[in-house]
């Protein structure tokens, strides 16, 4: 589904991503881990062109993001993104948060969008909150709304950038459980996370970034039990 070749990203003269090549298969769950500042968010943001690569190619479902400027809008609709800080629309109810983009960007009728949104709210355990406003919700509830909102666009791919990092510890599980269900349902997911438990249990593959380089990638078991590089060993010693 995703094919990245020789991706480089510079901010000014600062090379933040250097020569990253990897791919993600349909239905695969890939976790990106690595130290703060290693380029994880920048990599994720390149995948939906929130950042423009300096060089290299990115294909999503066979369509080049980097070559054709025309289809970016269309491709972005197929990619859901969930951020650390939720980014809900504060002036809209929970239900309206879910229906806004389907109605505006896809032209779906309100009644149909409402029906779909209710199914998604049920799925994330928030049926009772449809008329609530975001500021009345807990962090875990906000993030579950954010995931449901992304799913309302029926994306083929979901990107998560540290979705649990801003949450109080007791709310991490409810969000990870929703993500686990999504993974089980066959969604293709790329997840930047500090939750090593999630990476270990749920991911099919782990990418380890350090100083903008893809230093190591492998199956979670191999990576966590037997890292190949000194940099990965050092990182795991600090976080596990
Ligand atoms: P991570 O998500 O792994 O913590 P980031 O991708 O956010 O890392 O950042 C990688 C590097 O790129 C950092 O040194 C950061 O300061 C820099 N960086 C990120 N975004 C920008 C930007 N918009 N302009 C300049 N530098 C940036
Ligand atoms: Mg980041």
Cα–Cα distance for residue pair 58/166, rounded to 1 Å: 29
> CB within 6 Å of ligand 1 — which residues?
11, 16, 34, 36-42
Percent of the chain whose predicted confidence (pLDDT) is above 70: 98
Cα–Cα distance for residue pair 179/171, rounded to 1 Å: 13
Least confident of 30-34, 74-78, 146-150: 74-78
The two three-digit tokens of residue 40, written as one number: 């994880």
pLDDT of residue 141: 98
* Domains of the chain by start residue, with CATH: 2-237 (3.40.50.300)
Q: Residue with the nearest Cα to atom 27 of ligand 1? A: 11
Query: Mean pLDDT of all residues in the chain?
Result: 96
> How does pLDDT run across 52-85, given as a tens digit for each residue?
999 999 999 888 888 766 677 888 889 999 999 9
pLDDT of residue 182: 98
pTM of the model as a whole: 0.97
| ipTM given for this complex | 0.98
């Amino acid at each position: 589904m995703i094919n990245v070749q020789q991706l480089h990203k510079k901010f000014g003269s600062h090379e933040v991503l250097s020569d990253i090549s990897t791919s993600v298969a349909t239905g695969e769950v890939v976790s990106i881990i690595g130290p703060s500042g290693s380029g994880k968010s920048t990599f994720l943001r390149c995948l939906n062109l929130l950042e423009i690569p300096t060089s290299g190619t990115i294909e999503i479902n066979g369509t080049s993001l980097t070559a054709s400027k025309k289809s970016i809008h269309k491709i972005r609709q197929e990619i859901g993104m969930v951020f650390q800080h939720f980014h809900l629309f504060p002036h809209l109810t929970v239900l309206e948060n879910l229906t806004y983009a389907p109605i505006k960007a896809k032209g779906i009728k309100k009644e149909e969008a409402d029906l779909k949104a209710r199914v998604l709210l049920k799925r994330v355990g928030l049926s009772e909150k449809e008329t609530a406003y975001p500021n009345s919700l807990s962090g875990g509830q906000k993030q579950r709304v954010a995931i449901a909102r992304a799913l309302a666009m029926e994306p083929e791919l979901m990107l998560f950038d540290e979705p649990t990092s801003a949450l109080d510890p007791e709310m991490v599980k409810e969000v990870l459980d929703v993500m686990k269900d999504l993974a089980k349902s066959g969604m293709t997911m790329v997840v930047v996370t500090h939750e090593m438990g999630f990476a270990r249990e749920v991911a099919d593959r782990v990418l380890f970034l350090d100083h903008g380089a893809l230093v190591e990638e492998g199956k979670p078991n191999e990576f966590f039990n037997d890292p190949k590089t000194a940099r990965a060993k050092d990182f795991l010693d600090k976080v596990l």
